[in-house]
Structure 1
Amino acid sequence: MREFDYIVVGGGSSGSVVAARLSENPANKVLLIESGQKDSDRFIHIPGTFFKVIEKGRDVHFYTSEPDPGLKGKPNVVPQGNVLGGGSSINAMIYIRGQRQDYDTWAQMGCRSWSYDKVLPVFREIEGNQRLSGEFHGAEGALKVSDRRFGHPLSWAFIRAAQEAGLRYNEDFNGEQQEGVGFYQTTTNNGRRWSAAQAFLRDAEKRSNLEIMTGTKVHKVLFEGRTAVGVLLSNGERIKASGEIVLTAGAIATPKILQLSGIGAAGQLAAHGIDVVADLPGVGENYQDHLEATVQAEVRDPISLFGQDRGVAAVGHMLQYMLTKTGVLTSTVVESGGFVDTAGTGQPDIQFHVLPSFNGFGERLAHPGHGISIGPCFLRPQSRGTVKLRSSNPDDPALFNANSFSNPADIETLVRGVELAIRITEAPSLARLIKRRILPEPGVEKDPDALRDYIRGVSKTVFHPSGTAKMGVCEDRMAVVGEDLKVFGVDRLRVADASIMPTLVSGNTNAPTIMIGERASRFILGKDLAA
């Protein structure tokens, strides 16, 4: 049986960091196991082609929920990266950390070492920002963050129209105040995607003490008593760990691996014939995600991205990109957006993702042509779903119930977000460009029930599943890991991905997940001690 000091399960945003940091010491023998392949598809690395990666599907795992009553019986389809770099290799590259209140809420829930003042220095140290530095930003870190190289006319029009609708302009969503509209900073560098694999693994993978296994699934963690001692692979191979095992497989795969390993609700495990190692009923509970409902409008002139990925136009864009690293292919597509407090609480509850096109993953274009999509999503979901075992067979997909809109507060927040998005389309800077609104059909917003029905019919994930192995205090029976990310009730096993978030951060999850991986590696190496 092969043996390593550390085994990291999942080569995504967090796993890339953990493996790289642990292998910095040549005395540590580290294994990183990734179910997908290497991030070799050229479309991964060109910012403007990330939708092609999702459409091709090779580097994406599409997790499909059970039929969801909150979505009018449709399943919730959640794409997650199945490739080195994970979500950071297929996402829209938006660099957002969330709000101060997100992390202070974690601290108030008992995770005192995860307050904003505790995590901000970590964000700064891993960030290499092109423009910003100082109190809120770092300029020397491995994760490159840059400003746009291309700004689409419709993105500019949205920003102006939002200001005309009463929203403030904001040049830094990760600074002192999140609220406002503007262009997003992105995890790009010199016109290329800067994924966690690019940032942390490119140098690390050259080290002789780090082995990276791709195209390999982990079925479960192996235990001797309550001590994690290795992993069982899908090919039947057993690999031993003399040190720790770190699960970084994501908020849907990680709880499945835990439960197959005997960690979860004792009654449910026993029902599947699985020996119980640790009775932790919170495993697979507390599922959260951000959902959005788009407002779409057709524009008068052919200025959107429609058709730019085909024919002569596509060839021209690719030549420009290859020769100069300029032009539309340097765009991350979701260039602009912002954060709005629609409830008057003093804390933004809606985020806008704006596409200068009708196109978006999962949308069949009923009205192909030139348009703009404004997608409000709620930031702090109150609904909770579950990820449980369907059977003891590792090849069976998890029994995934998203329970979208099971708490009515979520749909009421989106109602306000959609109403605001409509007002933005009617503001002068967009109104002069728009021919007609396509979705929702004009007049729907005048009937509250019809608008809610529209939202349930079109809402979809923005790819931020979290919470299914939540961090908390040992007195909380639903907590799965402590502040040091060690799994309760067992030894030598940690979770270090978005699963551990007690509540979902108010924004895109890539940067926070990288921060979680960085802190996990520091905990393991004794460089950062949780309070």
Structure 2
Amino acid sequence: MSEKFDYVIVGAGSAGCVLAARLSEDKNVSVCLIEAGGNDNSAFVQMPAGVAASVPYGINSWHYQTVPQANLNNRCGFVPRGKVLGGSSSINAMVYIRGNRWDFDNWAAQGNHGWDYYSLLPYFIKAETNHSINNEFHGSNGPLQVNELQTPSPVNQYFLKGCAEQGIALNSDINGVNQEGARLSQVTQHNGERCSAAKAYLTPNLSRPNLTVMTKVQVEKLIVTDNTVTALRVNHKNRRRIINASKEVIVSAGAINSPQLLMLSGIGDKDALKKLGIEPTLHLPGVGQNLQDHLTVVPLYRAKTSAGTFGISLPGAMQMTTQTYQWFKNRTGDLTSNFAESHAFFSIDNDAPAPEIQMEFVIGLVDDHSRKLHWGHGYSVHASLMRPKSRGSVTLKDNNPKSAPLIDPNYLDHPDDLTTLLAGLKQTLSVLESSAFNEIKGEMIYPLDKNNDEQLIEFIRSTADTEYHPVGTCKMGSKDDELSVVDSELKVHGLANLRVVDASIMPTIITGNTNASVIAIAEKAADLIKLERSQPADQ
């Protein structure tokens, strides 16, 4: 069975949903969006607090893990990635943070023309409707709804005051002039529901006759003829089909699955592919390399009261029953929480070009991605290293499309990463031990002494893990860069009719949560594709 479209997009995550919506605005082109997961109408997706089940238990997720990490006591880390319409934007904590302007200027300084901050800012603005901040940095007419938390916990005020005690001032707009500081989270929610990329971009446009969305379809391979990608082989319910693309195939499967698909298609390091029985199509050794992620360490504290926090207790169970009814009835109440209700950015080195540490304050005892449960109530903080110097990889286990890839973030390989994260953990503990928390602070789940470096380092090695932001595995850069995979128009070097558009193209990781930036990347990519289509064929 064979089908044909102008544009075929692989992956209905944050980038794929944007591309499908923007490209199908032109009624004269046909667009096909392919997603390995199912639809997004589950309460686990639409209810903001559903993230507590989606992430730890693999609901709507690929549920990967890393290879053993030598610098984390040989533990295997956790790598949940969205497998549903909306991708990871349907299972994430909905925090709206764009990154630091220096991040994008640094991309441009690496030779990626058109990717500096002021070139990307119009796409952040275009994507966004911000319901509480109205200034030149924010949008008011975009599909992505950005709001303040509907019912923030009063416990956040202890954190914000603790930050102030430690010299981290309040910042009304961390996506504006200056990123450093502390704030209640802005979230991609609206009317008590998650506003994923699917909800923002895809759902309103599903009735377009030129847009076809396929779910529960696994793309197995790109078909390349004369250095041109012409089609894909897909598997649906164990039946293979060929889907042809007359103009372009756009791979938007994310930082793990995009390089996996390229390598399965023979695009990657030729020697590594041959060893797996894959005939090389194009020698591109950067595919799957340059993996970067935010490593986070999480101190946890019990609270003296159950008020304002989530937890396992009789009062907590009664609260959950009441709040579940309230959310289903009118989309209000505590289950509109994203758990990571406030955050702060700060630097260790005063000369750093952008904040080096992000703290996310969580109103619950979230231990090991909520896979390790504790009786009672409390709070925790994710202290995350923003710009690691370590680099890892995504490689193939074998030539079977159903096999999970080998994911190696190579955490703490560079010694500076441990030094900076240790300093960030110390500062985080100073905030949590400040007098602002005296009214609520109980015992630590894992007692730590902020003056004992040896103990803190062991805590990092025995507990630190992902903050869910893998990037960089199809790096944007010039042909002279042996690790680059795509050029500044996101076209794959050496092949026609193929682009990669997602977090994998980031040359270096950004300072903060990655979802907003991926949406802006896709908005820009859609314009690049439209501009090329509008130009005469001989140009």
TM-score range, shorter chain: over 0.9
* CA deviation profile, 1:372-419 (whole Å, cap 9, x unmatched): 101110100111111112222222221222211111111111111111
Q: 2:326 is matched with which residue?
A: 320
1:244 aligns with 2:248: yes
Which residue in the other structure is 1:186 paired with? 187
Please state if 1:496 is matched with 2:501. Answer: yes
CA RMSD of aligned residues (A): 1.7
Which one of 465, 468, 493 corresponds to residue 470 of structure 2?
Answer: 465
Deviation at 1:141, TM superposition (A): 0.7
The aligned residue for residue 427 of structure 1 is 434
Check conservation: 1:471, 1:485, Cα contact below 8 A: yes
Aligned counterpart, 1:451: 456
Amino acid at match of 2:310: L
CA distance in 2, matches of 1:528, 1:174: 33
The answer to whether the 8 A contact 2:393-2:409 is kept is yes
Q: Which residue of 2 aligns with 1:8?
A: 9
- Within 2, Cα distance between the matches of 1:395 and 1:44? 25
The two structures have a TM-score, normalised by structure 1, of 0.96
**Residue identity (%):** 37
Deviations 1:224-257 (A, max 9, x none): 1200000011332111111100000010110010
Q: Over residues 321-371 of structure 1, what are the superposed CA-to-partner deviations in whole Å (9 max), with x where a residue is unaligned?
A: 234433211221111011011222252100011111102553454642111
The structure that is strand-richer by fraction is 2
For residue 451 of structure 2, what is the amino acid of its counterpart?
K
1:417 to 2:418 alignment: no
Point out 4+ residue stretches in structure 1 off by more than 6 angstroms: none
C-alpha separation between the residues in 1 aligned to 2:397 and 2:382? Answer: 33
- How many residues are matched? 527
1:297-336 aligned at under 5 Å gives the runs 297-303=301-307, 304-307=309-312, 311-336=317-342
User: Is 2:276 the counterpart of 1:269?
Assistant: no
Structure 2 spans left out of the alignment, 5+ residues: 535-539
* Native 8 Å contact 2:81 2:87 kept in 1: yes
Q: CA deviation at 1:447?
A: 2.7
How far apart, CA to CA, are the structure 1 residues paired with 2:302 and 2:135? 42
Q: Which moved more, 1:376-385 or 1:362-371?
A: 362-371
Q: Distance in 2 between matches of 1:361 and 1:422?
A: 18
Do the aligned partners of residues 207 and 366 (structure 1) sit closer, same or farther apart at CA in structure 2, a change above 3 Å counting?
A: closer
Query: What do residues 116-150 of structure 1 show as CA deviations (whole Å, max 9, x unaligned)?
Result: 01000111111111012332111111111011111
Q: Which residue of 2 aligns with 1:52?
A: 53
1:97 Cα deviation from its structure 2 partner: 0.5
- Confirm or deny that 1:284 pairs with 2:291: no
Distance 1:310 1:32 in 2: 41
Residues 165-204 of structure 1 aligned to structure 2 (within 5 Å): 165-204=166-205
SS at match of 1:153: coil
For residues 451 and 147 of structure 2, what CA distance do their matches in structure 1 show?
Answer: 41
Show CA shifts across 1:411-470 (max 9, x none): 11111111111111221111231122233x243x33322211110111111110110000
Q: Go from structure 1 to structure 2 and tell me whether the alpha carbon gap of 1:5 and 1:111 turns closer, same or farther (over 3 Å shift).
A: same
Distance 1:494 1:431, change over 3 A: same
Alpha-carbon separation, structure 2, partners of 1:25 and 1:367? 53
Decide whether aligned partners of structure 1 residues 312 and 438 sit closer, same or farther in structure 2, where only a CA change above 3 A counts.
Answer: closer
Task: Note the C-alpha offset of 1:276.
Answer: 2.1
1:527 & 1:223 partners in 2: Cα distance?
21
**Could you list the per-position Cα deviations for residues 43-83 of structure 1 after superposition, in whole angstroms to 9, with x for gaps in the alignment?**
21111222122244230111211111121111111101000
SS of match in other structure, 1:82 = coil
Amino acid at match of 1:344: N
| Matched-pair contact (CA < 8 Å) for 2:310–2:316 | no
Q: Secondary structure at the match of 1:474?
A: coil
Is the contact between residue 63 and residue 78 of structure 1 (CA under 8 Å) also seen in structure 2?
yes
Q: Secondary structure at the match of 2:75?
A: coil
Question: C-alpha separation between the residues in 2 aligned to 1:301 and 1:315?
Answer: 19
Say which SS state the counterpart of residue 251 (structure 1) adopts: helix
Letter in 2 for 1:450: Q
Q: Is the 8 A contact 1:111 1:483 kept in 2?
A: yes
Partner of 2:369: 362
Distance 2:533 2:362 in 1: 40
User: Displacement of 1:526 after TM fit?
Assistant: 0.8
Give the counterpart of 2:378 among 347, 351, 371: 371
Gaps of 5+ in 1: none
Q: Which amino acid aligns with 2:346?
A: V
Q: Give the 3-state SS of the residue equivalent to 2:360 in structure 1.
A: strand
